[in-house]
A and B are shown apart, each in its own frame.
Chain A
């Protein structure tokens, strides 16, 4: 299936607490209100994530789903993965090794990516701690 709609790749700030989460949500709200928004959050920089940050991710996802869109996560740092797993939210998102794969997944299914990084218990998708850096993760940049 091909899609002509843009995929927005957004880099999440290093610290995602109440204040930063609110600021980040404000910056993505216009995108989320579009018809069928396609978003990729690049979590490679995230070093601190708390419940407000996770709540913001869930809010973005529910907002995107209201408009028939989706939010996918890319290159999560080990710190972000630990908190996503702790709060049981990791299983609610599609998680990819890098932003390119996440953006491409909107237009085609990537079974190899999923198979390669599927956890042994199949509950969440996890990555090796030394995951390579994303190649196209650019703030506010539309990826085809």
Chain B
């Protein structure tokens, strides 16, 4: 049987809520792969043929896009019209069943069973209902029912010519409406509750590492945690309580990442405390404060280029610039106490702050007052 799929992203006013930094949550990496990639891959594994993705948004980097699907971009106004046209094209080219899905909520679903249910009931349209009792934007439509499909698309999947059959989908469900939901999904996946798997190998129980991830020898990673491909965690950094570091992230020395998700290409400065947050695109969404803050200071939170050649060039330039600076500083070097153990490193104030000097201050004033340092060093002496 020829089954094809149309996956929609956006298309409704409320879809702008489920975003971070202008990127829909469904397109953000979660433990190595975006929900979009995971869903299309599962569809393929379960016998769905050609899959077309119709999105209001561009993929934010080249790896966010699964190359085995056809990608179409359309404005919010045009999206449903294009979906209708795409449905007709698939029907004309021989498709018998169409799976229509608007990405938003994640549900651990067996697509084969859904298709079987639709065929058994001989219905025109079948709609899935999650374990929470909420109707999902996941439908199976017989390809010959073009009028039903047209009516459905014109009503943004909320109205039907004839009431659809309801398929109750048991299993894990996550609404993926806010960054907190994305974080919850990551934690549930690390706890093996969601039916998803982290992309990478299990370095030790509960600690997953993607290919080419670099963990410096004195970095500490506590299970459960995930370090994505090409990510780097530097000395004295601590990754703890179900934290997720996605691909190409850079966590600098002495920074503590606790119960947080760091989205791809983010660069976290040295000596920071990132807790209960989703960080990415130079923004931090604090889950306890329920606030999203833009950070324009590269010393705190930055973002690497999504293009590999640009990243390589940037690294070469920073290396070239760093050598003379290191030589000069070694010539003028005075003995400075630096934290040598993990507890000292994570108690020290952020080195990011020492770089932000105010110009009119003289050099002697650039350091904290001796009284202040004494107050912060308790326990060391």
Contact = CB atoms under 8 A, between A and B. Distances in A.
B291 A58 contact: no
B140 interface: no
Contact of A88 (B272, B290, B361, B365): B272
Residue among B290, B296, B297, B361 with the most chain A CB within 10 A? B297
Interface of B, helix, strand, loop or mixed by DSSP = loop
Contacts of B293: 78-79, 82-83
Nearest to A56: B358
Nearest to B275: A85
Contacts of A139: none
A5 interface: no
Nearest to B284: A82
Contact of B372 (A48, A61, A129): A61
Interface in A33-85: 48, 50-52, 54-56, 58-59, 61-63, 65-66, 78-79, 81-83, 85
Interface residues of B, number: 37
B251 to A, nearest CB: 13
B372 A87 contact: no
Question: Nearest 8 CB-CB pairs, A to B?
Answer: A62-B369, A50-B297, A78-B291, A51-B356, A52-B356, A55-B356, A78-B289, A79-B293
Interface of B: 271-275, 277, 284, 286, 288-291, 293-297, 299-300, 349-350, 352-361, 365, 368-369, 371-372, 376
15 contacts: A52-B358, A55-B353, A59-B365, A78-B286, A78-B289, A78-B293, A82-B291, A83-B295, A83-B300, A86-B272, A86-B274, A87-B273, A88-B271, A89-B349, A129-B290
Interface of A: 17-18, 21-22, 25, 48, 50-52, 54-56, 58-59, 61-63, 65-66, 78-79, 81-83, 85-89, 92, 126, 129
